Chain A
Amino acid sequence: ELKVEQNPLFLSMQEGKNYTIYCNYSTTSDRLYWYRQDPGKSLESLFVLLSNGAVKQEGRLMASLDTKARLSTLHITAAVHDLSATYFCAAMGGATNKLIFGTGTLLAVQP
């Protein structure tokens, strides 16, 4: 059964600093997704990672995938307050291609 773990659960950062969120999954997965959720809102798609070594960047966020290590990372560069949100990774697996979510990382960027 596919399980997805994320760490840290909570991250308090200062503006301008860099940090990385880690996402481990337990079995082979075809794809890895990253989402952002603002309080009281639904999920916003950030990245879809399709293959080993895939790297995608959007603004101050960069996601990568290592399928051999079953690890994805979301790197935050020079954090700004607007990045404060909860970030989820999710791996796709199973016969129905269901999406299994990690525990989420609550990111708080302090001025």
Chain B
Amino acid sequence: SAVISQKPSRDICQRGTSLTIQCQVDSQVTMMFWYRQQPGQSLTLIATANQGSEATYESGFVIDKFPISRPNLTFSTLTVSNMSPEDSSIYLCSVRVSLIYTFGSGTRLTVV
């Protein structure tokens, strides 16, 4: 299975600012997935990112709020823009290699 390095691991941000989360994978993967896990909740898929094309966003998530970059097959970023306290969550990236979905260690975001 793939190994994912995700950073930052946590951050405290002021409302109205933006934070960019990075995920680096140790192998080339076609698709990367970004999830949000609100406190005490399950994981909700934000978007699927393919290299060389625009990300596909799930219902309730928009590109202006969560822009994603996928410059190559081993790297992706998710930006949380114009943050509010409601954005306080854990954000996780994930990749699928063969049958296995692997998750990054997560970014714990607190917006104050």
Contacts and interface: CB of A to CB of B under 8 A. Distances in A.
A48 B101 CA distance: 10
Contact of A99 (B41, B45, B104, B106): B45
Interface of A: 31, 33, 40-43, 45, 48, 50, 88, 90, 96-104
A101 B43 contact: yes
Interface string B43-67: 1110010000000100000000000
B56 A96 contact: yes
Interface of B: 1, 31, 33, 41-45, 48, 56, 92, 94, 96, 99-106, 108
A45 B94 contact: no
Secondary structure class of chain B's binding surface, majority of residues: strand
B96 to A, nearest CB: 7
20 contacts: A33-B101, A40-B108, A41-B105, A42-B104, A42-B106, A43-B43, A45-B101, A45-B102, A50-B99, A88-B42, A90-B43, A90-B101, A96-B31, A96-B56, A97-B96, A98-B45, A98-B48, A99-B94, A99-B96, A101-B44
A48 B42 contact: no
Contacts of B42: 88, 101-104
Contacts of B56: 96
Nearest to B4: A42
B100 A48 contact: yes
| Chain A to chain B: the 4 pairs with minimum beta-carbon distance, closest first | A101-B43, A43-B103, A96-B48, A101-B42
